[in-house]
Amino acid sequence: MSLTARCVECGEEFGMMPSQHAKRICTVDCADARERRRSRARKYGLTVEAYDALLERDDGCAICGIKESYSKRLHIDHDHACCPGGRSCGKCVRGLLCSSCNTGLGAFLDDAELLLKAINYLIERRVPQAGERILEEEWGTAVVPAGYRVQ
């Protein structure tokens, strides 16, 4: 006789033997994912439920939107000014970020003013692509996409 249960990690239904009536996770991958979430949540002073709420709120990386997958893990971002070092109190957690966005913020030392300067640099020094042209006005320089007419 085979019984079915619903995995508490992924929500999939799975078959089990009567002797496994207490089994709640369908595969080793789901068990590993659950333990990773618990471990990460603990490191940043969060409960697993709080971590899951962040994942649901941001629905992926809070900056670029990339979704978490088995090969792409999201990082818990926290304010390093509050809790220097690897651990966090949990009150300064800002969200979940992909590796690229997390590394990018770190490279700019979490300094919003420095990030704004970088954004302005990218805008001001943008090289026109095929078909685009540079428009210089009294208010500054802009790149005009191909097909746009300036009046």
Averaged pLDDT, 35-45:
83
**0.75 cut: is pTM over it?**
no
pLDDT in tens, 66-114: 998 766 888 999 888 887 766 778 788 999 999 999 999 999 999 999 9
Listed by start position, the domains of the chain span 1-43, 44-110
- Cross-strand pairs, 40: none
Burial of 41 (0-12, 13-18, 19+ CB in 10 A): buried
Residue 64: what pLDDT? 94
In this model, does residue 122 exceed pLDDT 80? yes
In this model, does residue 46 exceed pLDDT 60? yes
Under CATH, to which class is 44-110 assigned?
Answer: alpha beta
Q: Quickly state the pLDDT bin for 30 (edges 50, 70, 90).
A: confident
Residue 104: what pLDDT? 95
For the chain, helix, strand, coil in percent to 5 are: 35, 20, 50
